[in-house]
């Protein structure tokens, strides 16, 4: 367990890559369960109602599916477990790192920018470096996993985040309408 934490620490410091992760499908399943459990616990702590488990499963499936498709397009599908372990493990670390900010902000986004409190605006600015750091780490992982230059990994990471946000908003809007 400590070896995985040391590996993830080195990855978020851009010292190592997914190629250094163990090939362990069981560990990947465990990280998937840990990710869902963490999302559920955060939703409970913030009193967020709704289908948080379903949304978490959907997001996890989407992210693992996109990674699988990208690796298959590059004919590097043998790297899936290591790349998924690294991406998911780093995502959990960044989620834990941003947890105090989310808890201070209250967890519920305001209905419109007009309802944004000064504290929420400040916390949004504080969280920006964490978001940018995660984006760089994701690009670093994708670069190594897909054998691409860093800028290509960065473009893929940005497009991936945009796609996830758009899809989440579309599904969230569909759930609100139902």
Domain membership flag for residue 109: no
- Running DSSP on this structure, what letter comes out for residue 59? H
Q: So what's the pLDDT on residue 142?
A: 97
| Rounded average pLDDT over 84-107 | 90
Domain membership flag for residue 87: yes
Distance CA 48, CA 51 (A): 9
Distance CA 158, CA 152 (A): 10
**pLDDT above 90: residue 45:** no
**pLDDT above 50: residue 174:** no
Distance CA 9, CA 89 (A): 10
Domain membership flag for residue 20: yes
Q: What is the largest CA-CA distance in the chain?
A: 48
Q: So what's the pLDDT on residue 102?
A: 83
Number of domains in the chain: 1
What number of CA atoms fall less than 13 Å from residue 50's CA on the CB side? 15
Q: So what's the pLDDT on residue 107?
A: 62
Domain membership flag for residue 129: yes
**pLDDT above 70: residue 93:** yes
Q: So what's the pLDDT on residue 176?
A: 39
Q: So what's the pLDDT on residue 177?
A: 36
pTM across the whole model: 0.88
Domain membership flag for residue 110: no
Percent of the chain with pLDDT over 70: 92
Domain that holds residue 122: 2-104+115-177
96-155, pLDDT tens digit by residue?
999 888 888 776 666 677 777 888 788 888 889 999 999 999 999 999 999 999 999 999
Domain membership flag for residue 145: yes
């Amino acid at each position: 367990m400590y070896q995985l934490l040391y590996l993830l620490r080195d990855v978020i410091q851009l010292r190592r890559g997914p190629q250094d992760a163990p090939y362990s499908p069981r560990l990947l399943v465990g990280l998937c369960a840990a990710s869902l459990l963490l999302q559920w616990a955060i939703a409970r702590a913030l009193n967020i109602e709704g289908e948080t488990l379903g949304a978490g499963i959907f997001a996890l499936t989407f992210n693992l599916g996109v990674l699988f498709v990208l690796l298959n397009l590059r004919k590097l599908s043998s790297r899936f477990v290591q790349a998924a372990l690294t991406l998911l493990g780093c995502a959990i670390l960044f989620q834990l790192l941003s947890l105090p900010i989310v808890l201070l902000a209250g967890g519920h986004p305001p209905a419109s920018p007009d309802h944004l409190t000064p504290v929420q605006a400040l916390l949004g600015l504080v969280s920006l470096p964490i978001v940018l750091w995660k984006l760089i780490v994701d690009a670093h992982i994708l670069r190594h996993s897909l054998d691409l230059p860093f800028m290509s990994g960065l473009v893929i990471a940005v497009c991936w985040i945009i796609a996830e946000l758009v899809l989440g908003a579309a599904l969230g809007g569909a759930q609100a309408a139902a």
